[in-house]
Structure 1
Amino acid sequence: MIANYKKINLTKLVENIAFSQVYLLSNSSPYEHSLRVSLISNLISREMNLEKIQRIDLYHASLLHDIGAFSNEVSLLLEFNCRKEMNLENHAYNGYELFRDVPFFETTAYIIKEHHNENTTNLLSRIIFFADEIEIQIRSNNFTKPKEVQAKAVSLFKDKRTFKEVLDAFIAVSRNDAFLFLLKDLNELKKENSNLVGDRFEILSSEELNSFAKSIAKNLVDAKSEFTKLHSIDVTYTAVSIAKAMGFSPMDCQKIETAGFLHDIGKLFVPLSILEKPDKLSGNEWLTMKSHVYYTYSFLNSLGLDKEIVDIASFHHEYLDGSGYPFGLEGNNLSILQRIMTVSDVYAALRQQRPYRTDRLKHDDAIEILEKMAKNGKIDMEIVKNIPYDLLMLWEY
């Protein structure tokens, strides 16, 4: 076992995933809703003197509570009258499914699962249930006075005995105008959330980090679209196989494995309409598509990961001749592990189905294209020569 430990900021991971809803849906309302629900939940949890770990779990779950909703459901979730016609527990269960197998998020997943179950025994789920209802009411009725909000909360929850403690805490924290000011100013709201809760860090071994990164790739990144299904896993498999064939150390192979799993996390910020467009992308659409590598860079840096892993993951569209993106780096600024990731990403993309190409290319055809790119000075020929032929086994799904 390689004794190498990393610290990762799980709260920043959650905040980034929550923020990606703005890009996924081209609509900031779901994100704004999750922010307001998180503030109400955090204020209640502080008033109830919950333990810090509970409050952090609650914050994470409140930011992600609607993550399981399909795009055509989200606008309906935010409308009081439309919600009456929906089975609200469906998206709650979908959110649970996304996170239940992600290390460190088992508790968060269960809170999400129960957040529309009025009879749940989970206190944190009840708090989100309450905060979710109150946020919808405040926005729907455009309340401008704390007493109006409190009166509505009392009318909704006074007869629900299991919510008495939550209701009492809410009445205590919503007495003044500052409560409504915060709900209207999202920048101040974010600051207040940070002050109320703080970040959660975990110390992971290299093996644990790999397992964590793989679960993020599988459950969140590759699951976003049918055309990205297994892509992160395939790129990683390819990159590690090349690195082993070239004689890299186990530690270097672990670095490229972690980076491979996370290299496309920035695609969470690319709308599905662009990811799955079967036609040629317009200029602005292509710019948005290319932005995913910058978002990978920004996202992974915020987690506190090692710079080497961040750069291997983020530079997978940089070319030796400087014609790549997002930074236009040239060969002397690209490490061998970064170059391996670039080749692996291109190889995997050629072998997989895409919206604009229904057939997967055969191994030999993909190698021919890669060799042409190498001769044109874009990628490293030595790396192309070290793509193992037995990678063919990977594509027999």
Structure 2
Amino acid sequence: MKIYHGNSLNLMRALSMALELLSVNLSFHHWRVAIIAMAIAEEMKLPYKMSATLLQASLLHDIGAAPNWNTRVKLRSGKNYEEKKIGQRYALHAYDGYACLKNSHYFGELAGIILHHHENWQDTIGKTDVPLQSRILRLADYVEVHIDPKKHILLQVRDITECIKKGNGILFSPEVVQCFLSVSRTENFWLNITDRAYADFFFKKNEAYGMANTYTENDVIDIAETFAAIIDQTSEFTYNHSCSVAKIAVFLAAKKGFSDNELKDMMVAGLLHDIGKLSIPNEVLEKPGKLSDAEFALIHQHTYYTYWILRQIDGFEQIAEWAAYHHECLDGSGYPFHLQAEALTLGSRIMAVADIFVALREDRPYRPGLPQGEILCIIKKMAENFKLDKNLVELLADNYKTATFLVSGSETGIDLRKENII
């Protein structure tokens, strides 16, 4: 990864896809909200910087619901979903999204927009803390969730438009409603929302907004840490899993002489290796008993989604492979690609060893964390059976005490931006 001033839109597009993972399909809710919101912004002639932050916030607006499968499902179907309010004001997932992003160096300016995106106009009249982008998101989100996927979009225009008119000055800002009614008069507006092929044109058309918030290599680490925290919240048993895997992978890679840039790639890959797990319901991830065939199928899809989400990002080709191949085995018996030894690079092999080591140490719903003797017995046997790289297993065994120290707490590991290892 050699990124110094990367265009953020490509990155946001890929990461927003992770928020769309609903079992065996993609909902495209965030993309469709972005299409609606940016059409309103164009009609309002919103300034460049405000449009850019609106686009990014649109693509991530439900990030606070990402760890909770049931909340995501309800929000997608949610015409009648009544969500808990924080401080009698903020929707729970909007507040959680704000909390998730507010301390992020890169995402910080989106936090306030996301915090207010479910507030009604009449409840905030006179309040100066609600960004205009939040007002636009409020209406755009409402329109998208009220589209019935089983009915032709043009047959729904009248009903949805009437709902917006009724909410004018109550749910929605009159200024935003006026612009929406103007831009939504054409069939083109509605067909664009539901035509998935239009998304490619939409992102290309708005590519210039990605340059308003370019990112550096250190920003990528900040972004990856944010998403790693979200991923690990999907189960109480994996609250620090991604961070721990990243630390062990970086440690082993450093021992094998990886370059400074490669170590950064390894950290990002470790932090994001389980991003595809957002496609798995929480009850499956935390099930204490034996998984059914259907549940195993869900588990086996997560690395597939990890690969295709990360593969879309410019400069992430190597990161995508290292992250997504962590359940591949040297003998070709792994998943989801069944790659054999010759197709698995050293980075991918390192990630596999790091993931299994950390997983064995962690408490899981079906067993407590294992002691050193059992862990070494298991991973050495896996190496003997040509599942894991034997040299890497030996390297880990020789440095077991240090490895244990690295994952004993989130403050004890290697932060590539602070330590002198790069």
Per the TM superposition, whether the score is higher than 0.5 is yes
The answer for the alignment partner of 1:322 in structure 2 is 332
**Amino acid of the structure 1 residue aligned with 2:100:** L
2:225 to 214, 219, 234: 214
Task: State the Cα deviation string for residues 23-58 of structure 1 (Å, max 9, x = none).
Answer: 347786xx4554443332111101111233322321
1:363 to 347, 358, 372: 372
2:99 aligned with 1:97, yes or no? yes
The answer for the alignment partner of 1:331 in structure 2 is 341
Aligned pairs for 1:129-278 (under 5 A) are 129-135=138-144, 144=155, 149-158=160-169, 163-183=173-193, 185-187=194-196, 190-191=199-200, 193-194=202-203, 197-198=206-207, 200=210, 204-218=215-229, 220-278=230-288
The answer for the alignment partner of 2:3 in structure 1 is 5
Give the superposition deviation at 1:224: 2.2
Q: In 1, distance between residues paired with 2:83 and 2:333?
A: 53
Q: In 2, distance between residues paired with 1:247 and 1:136?
A: 50
Q: In 1, distance between residues paired with 2:387 and 2:170?
A: 68
Give the superposition deviation at 1:171: 2.1
Task: State the Cα deviation string for residues 244-265 of structure 1 (Å, max 9, x = none).
Answer: 3344443433332222112112
Kept in 1, the 8 Å contact 2:113–2:130? The answer is: no
Task: State the Cα deviation string for residues 70-101 of structure 1 (Å, max 9, x = none).
Answer: 54445665555554986652221111122223
Q: In 2, distance between residues paired with 1:210 and 1:234?
A: 14
Q: In 2, distance between residues paired with 1:395 and 1:273?
A: 26
Number of equivalent positions: 389
Task: Give 3-state SS (helix, strand or coil) of 2:236's partner.
Answer: coil
Query: Structure 1 residues 38-47 or 276-285, which shifts more?
Result: 276-285
Query: Structure 1 residues 231-240 or 248-257, which shifts more?
Result: 248-257
Task: State the Cα deviation string for residues 105-125 of structure 1 (Å, max 9, x = none).
Answer: 222221110112332541111
The answer for the alignment partner of 1:59 in structure 2 is 55
Kept in 1, the 8 Å contact 2:83–2:92? The answer is: no
Task: Give 3-state SS (helix, strand or coil) of 1:353's partner.
Answer: coil
Kept in 2, the 8 Å contact 1:322–1:330? The answer is: yes
The answer for the alignment partner of 2:417 in structure 1 is none
Kept in 2, the 8 Å contact 1:143–1:149? The answer is: no
Q: TM-score, normalised by structure 2?
A: 0.80
Give the superposition deviation at 1:191: 4.8
Q: In 1, distance between residues paired with 2:201 and 2:372?
A: 53
Give the superposition deviation at 1:273: 2.9
Kept in 2, the 8 Å contact 1:217–1:232? The answer is: yes
Give the superposition deviation at 1:269: 2.2
The answer for the alignment partner of 2:403 in structure 1 is 391
In the superposition, relative to structure 1, how do residues 103 and 268 fare at CA in structure 2: closer, same or farther (>3 Å)?
Answer: farther
Give the superposition deviation at 1:175: 1.8
Kept in 2, the 8 Å contact 1:7–1:305? The answer is: no
Give the superposition deviation at 1:68: 2.4
In the superposition, relative to structure 1, how do residues 251 and 32 fare at CA in structure 2: closer, same or farther (>3 Å)?
Answer: closer
Task: State the Cα deviation string for residues 124-146 of structure 1 (Å, max 9, x = none).
Answer: 11111233344566669998475
The answer for the alignment partner of 2:21 in structure 1 is 23
**Amino acid of the structure 2 residue aligned with 1:236:** A
2:38 aligned with 1:42, yes or no? yes
The answer for the alignment partner of 2:307 in structure 1 is 297
In the superposition, relative to structure 1, how do residues 50 and 247 fare at CA in structure 2: closer, same or farther (>3 Å)?
Answer: same
Query: Structure 1 residues 62-71 or 294-303, which shifts more?
Result: 62-71
Q: In 1, distance between residues paired with 2:23 and 2:298?
A: 14
**Amino acid of the structure 2 residue aligned with 1:164:** P
Where do 5+ consecutive residues of structure 2 fail to align? 410-422
In the superposition, relative to structure 1, how do residues 173 and 276 fare at CA in structure 2: closer, same or farther (>3 Å)?
Answer: same
Query: Structure 1 residues 253-262 or 291-300, which shifts more?
Result: 253-262
Q: In 1, distance between residues paired with 2:23 and 2:333?
A: 31
Give the superposition deviation at 1:325: 1.9
In the superposition, relative to structure 1, how do residues 385 and 138 fare at CA in structure 2: closer, same or farther (>3 Å)?
Answer: closer
Task: Give 3-state SS (helix, strand or coil) of 2:21's partner.
Answer: helix
Task: Give 3-state SS (helix, strand or coil) of 1:224's partner.
Answer: coil
Q: In 1, distance between residues paired with 2:269 and 2:23?
A: 27
Give the superposition deviation at 1:10: 3.6
**Amino acid of the structure 1 residue aligned with 2:199:** K
Q: In 1, distance between residues paired with 2:321 and 2:258?
A: 18
**Amino acid of the structure 1 residue aligned with 2:404:** L
1:382 to 374, 391, 405: 391
Q: TM-score, normalised by structure 1?
A: 0.84
* Greater fraction helix: 1
In the superposition, relative to structure 1, how do residues 274 and 186 fare at CA in structure 2: closer, same or farther (>3 Å)?
Answer: farther
The answer for the alignment partner of 1:107 in structure 2 is 109
